[in-house]
Structure 1
Amino acid sequence: MYFFLGNLSVVDISFSTVTVPKLLSSILHEGTSMSFLGCFVQMYFFVFLGTTEIFLLSVMAFDRYLAICIPLRYILLMNYKVMAILVSTGWVAASLHSLLHTYILSKLIYCEDRLIHHFFCDVTPLIKLSCSSTKLAELLIFTEGSMVVIIPFFFILFSYVLIGWTILKMETRSSRSKAFSSCSSHLMVICLFYGTADIFIYFRPPSDYSSQYDRIVSMAYTIITPMLNPFIYSLRNQDVKQALKKLIMQCSFHRIHSNLAHVL
């Protein structure tokens, strides 16, 4: 699990780095410009990292399935070689997916008014700026894009149905509690990611596009979700809890000692 968490941390840090610096620059300078190449580079990494996170969450769901449903064979099935293959496949597939979307959108003809009503170069705002036919780009989003997003979602859902069924069949309450606790953090991250991402906005017609709504939703899954993920996993870790309690006790002790010294 820590191997997967390491990859998830890299994705979260990079995901925010792609959009937040440009957002801060726009706020400080009241609007900013970006080159044509820079816009598509930003879009490539945004789609690439977002898709990679979806694949990682799917792999982590599979890992939890093996650990809870087939515990005696877990170490044999989920060895370092298998983990490396699963993660690297996700990174490569996400890269190819993003490259395809970036290439298709870069071939569109854009109008003279190239003001993007967003805080980063996203797929839908770029389609709205095009003066040429966008049917191919829209078809790509509805077909290949939906497969990349929806198939992992149902895979995660199916994995947790099997996990839930296995947990319910456990004889003791402590066993059920321990099994559920081992996957509760991952469940919270999945709900947070899919809940804030509102990924299905990418599968609607461009005529239903709302720049204000999309900016709010994008703010949630590009800033809030990556920020909360480390806290969700860290607060479920007993070592982190003990270190946090120790830090709070030390701060309280120093504050009491300082107050007593001031009184005396």
Structure 2
Amino acid sequence: MGYISASLPKLLESFLTGNNKISFSGCIAQLYLFSTLGTTDTFLLVLMAYDRYLAICKPLHYTMIMNPRACVFLAVASWTTGFLLALILVVLVARLPFCGPNVIDHILCESNPMMELSCSDISSVQMAFSVIASVSILGTLLLIGTSYTFIICTIIKIPSALGRKKAFSTCSSHIIVVIIFYTTLCVMYVRVPGTRSSPEQDKIISLLYGIIIPFLNPFIYSLRNKDMQEAARKVLKRNKDFPTGLNDLNVISKGLK
């Protein structure tokens, strides 16, 4: 909710009123919130992978390791790291001089489009940004991959097919989110410093990982929820029966004529 709220209200205002102007301080605030929540999201995905690793690979030690105190500590560490990393990036961008037509060809205030507006040499800032972004994205992705390597090795050793299926199903929602989210992040941020992509491509990618994916997350994480499955089953059944109902209505209307 916070991730979408950092960008969507201003985007909706631009669509509805045509007012696509934003102050410099407002743009920096949006950049900071968006970067903070996005970075924190990557660390939370690492914690979810670690949680699945403990639940599948060390089930007898799960409650002892993932106690309430440990959960609070890990959550606070994720948020703190996200705030600090985003602060470094925002300070680097905010200190750049902007002296031209400050028009951002993007759907929100992000670091790459803002850096391109600067009238000074931004090679050092781009280098620092690429290193921080690559380490935070690829580093967390490596941790997630390591957790799932151990998880897969453990699942393979489960003798029954039903047990393997049940163990894998506990990770399915998380795997879907990781694949979609990290694919878009890597395309957007993990690149050689100085290389550029088309503004249209950046807009589509930002729309995916900044708005569409967070919107879909509650549905993806609810795939194993029995109430959610039953509601989806009812909707599908209703849609399947709807054309039949229309045909019956046509027959009755012809009879009335």
TM-score, normalised to structure 2, is 0.88
Change (3 A) 1:181 1:83: same
Pick one of 181, 196, 211 that aligns with 1:208.
196
Mapped to 1, the partners of 2:106 and 2:7 lie a distance apart of 11
TM-fit CA distance, 1:197 = 3.2
For residues 246 and 134 of structure 1, what CA distance do their matches in structure 2 show? 55
Offset of 1:244 from its aligned partner? Answer: 5.0
On the 8 A contact 2:134/2:189 being kept in 1, the answer is: no
Q: CA deviation at 1:204?
A: 3.2
> Which of 162, 172, 183 in structure 2 is aligned with 1:195?
183
**Correspondence for 1:23:** 11
Q: Does 1:131 align with 2:100?
A: no
**Aligned to 1:241, which of 226, 229, 237?**
229
Taking the aligned partners of 1:68 and 1:45, their CA distance within structure 2 comes to 34
Q: CA deviation at 1:248?
A: 7.8
Aligned counterparts of 1:213 and 1:31: Cα–Cα separation in 2: 23
Shift of 1:249: 8.0
Moved more, 197-206 or 138-147: 197-206
Cα RMSD (Å) of the superposition? 2.5
Give how far 1:83 is off.
Answer: 0.9
Is the Cα–Cα contact under 8 Å of residues 107 and 203 in structure 2 kept in the other structure?
yes
Counterpart-to-counterpart distance in 1, 2:123 and 2:180: 32
Aligned partner of 1:220 in structure 2 is 208
In the TM superposition, structure 1's runs of 4+ consecutive aligned residues that sit over 4 Å from their partners are 243-252
Question: Identity over the aligned pairs, expressed in percent?
Answer: 38
Greater Cα offset, 226-235 or 237-246: 237-246
- Which residue of the partner structure matches residue 122 of structure 1? 110
Larger Rg: 2
Correspondence 1:50 to 2:43: no
Indicate yes or no: 2:138 matched with 1:144: no
> Is the Cα contact below 8 Å between 1:141 and 1:203 reproduced in 2?
no
Counterpart code for 1:201 = Y
The 5-angstrom pairing of residues 30-41 of structure 1 reads: 30-41=18-29
Aligned residue pairs, count? 248
Equivalent in the alignment of 2:67: 79
Equivalent residues in 2 for 1:84-123, closer than 5 Å: 84-123=72-111
- CA 39–69 in structure 1, closer or farther in 2 if over 3 Å, else same: same
